[in-house]
């Protein structure tokens, strides 16, 4: 092949070394973790992706998880389906302190959407976009302040170089009682055992996860009522997938024409 429209299948050294005619890999999506980028560069293979298409669906899933956990929708639905007429009080999003960890394209949009619904937004990022934060009246705080003060924490960061979780036992222990944690970014950002301990000790009031260190997920979190789990479907909407595939195809054609 001269060009490939790629999903998440591996393009490691073994695969790329056999693709002697390959000029371009065009990802229908954002992540390129499945591609040996350094080896691709050495071979002169151009890597393209579709970063903007995924913003809206991921933002919407993040919002859906936060509202589900605040209103206890999944829990109330499960009770009703099991013939239990049990009313559980929920919480407002309005006035809650929300900490956004990671202000890339998606994190920024999550900040803006939640702010428009009346939440108090604080953000953390190693590389602060001060022009954006000033324009949108959103303040950057230290990671520790986000952990200490947030009612809701939403992760939109890339994994660090050593793949050590940024949310671990220590971080959970510092959080406000009843905190809601949502992760639609990368599974390795959170230590699952620390989350379980947080739920069991009533520090963590709700969890929403779309990503996991190992997929398909078969872990213990399936046993908790106040946990909402989805099978890595943040970008899986009919509209965004079609747009993603069209853009990936157009990117590939553009490269092959050069």
* Residue 119 backbone phi and psi in degrees, to 5: -80, 155
Catalytic residue status for 38:
no
Q: What is the DSSP string of 122-154?
A: EEE-SS--HHHHHHTT-EE--HHHHHHH-SEEE
Q: Identify the active-site residue in 186, 243, 247, 255.
A: 186
Catalytic residue status for 156:
no
Q: Identify the active-site residue in 14, 177, 214, 215.
A: 215
Longest dimension (CA), the chain: 64
Sheet with 3-6, edge to edge strand ranges: 3-6, 24-27, 46-48
The residue among 120, 106, 189 whose CA lies nearest residue 152 is: 120
- Torsion, Cα of 142, 148, 149, 151 (10° steps): 120
Residue 132 CB burial class (10 angstroms; 0-12, 13-18, ≥19): middle
Residue 61 CB burial class (10 angstroms; 0-12, 13-18, ≥19): buried
Compute the C-alpha angle 115/121/126, nearest 5°.
125
Catalytic residue status for 247:
no
Q: Identify the active-site residue in 60, 225, 232, 245.
A: 232
The strand pairing partners of 97, in sequence order, are 120
Distance in angstroms (rounded) separating the CA atoms of residues 79 and 200:
20
The residue among 6, 54, 9 whose CA lies nearest residue 28 is: 6
Distance in angstroms (rounded) separating the CA atoms of residues 238 and 235:
9
**Catalytic residue list:** 186, 215, 232
């Amino acid at each position: 092949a001269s060009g490939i429209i790629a999903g998440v299948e591996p393009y490691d050294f073994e695969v790329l070394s056999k693709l002697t005619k390959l000029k371009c890999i065009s990802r229908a999506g954002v992540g390129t973790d499945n591609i040996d980028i350094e080896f691709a560069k050495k071979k002169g293979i151009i890597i393209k992706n579709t970063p903007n298409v995924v913003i809206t669906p991921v933002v919407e899933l993040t919002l859906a998880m936060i509202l589900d956990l605040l209103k206890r929708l999944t829990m109330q639905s499960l009770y009703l389906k099991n013939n239990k007429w049990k009313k559980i009080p929920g919480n407002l999003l309005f006035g809650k302190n929300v900490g956004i960890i990671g202000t890339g394209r998606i994190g920024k949009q999550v900040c803006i959407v939640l702010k428009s619904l009346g939440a108090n937004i604080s953000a953390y990022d190693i590389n602060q976009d001060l022009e954006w934060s000033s324009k949108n009246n959103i303040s950057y705080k230290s990671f520790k302040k986000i952990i200490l003060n947030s009612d809701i924490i939403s992760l939109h960061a890339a994994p660090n170089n050593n793949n050590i979780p940024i949310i671990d036992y220590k971080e959970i222990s510092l959080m406000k009682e009843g905190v809601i944690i949502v992760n639609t970014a990368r599974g390795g950002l959170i230590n699952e055992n620390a989350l379980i301990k947080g739920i069991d000790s009533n520090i963590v009031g709700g969890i929403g996860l779309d990503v996991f260190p190992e997929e398909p997920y078969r872990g213990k979190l399936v046993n908790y009522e106040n946990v909402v789990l989805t099978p890595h479907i943040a970008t899986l909407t009919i509209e965004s997938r079609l747009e993603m595939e069209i853009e990936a195809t157009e990117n590939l054609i553009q490269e092959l024409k050069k």
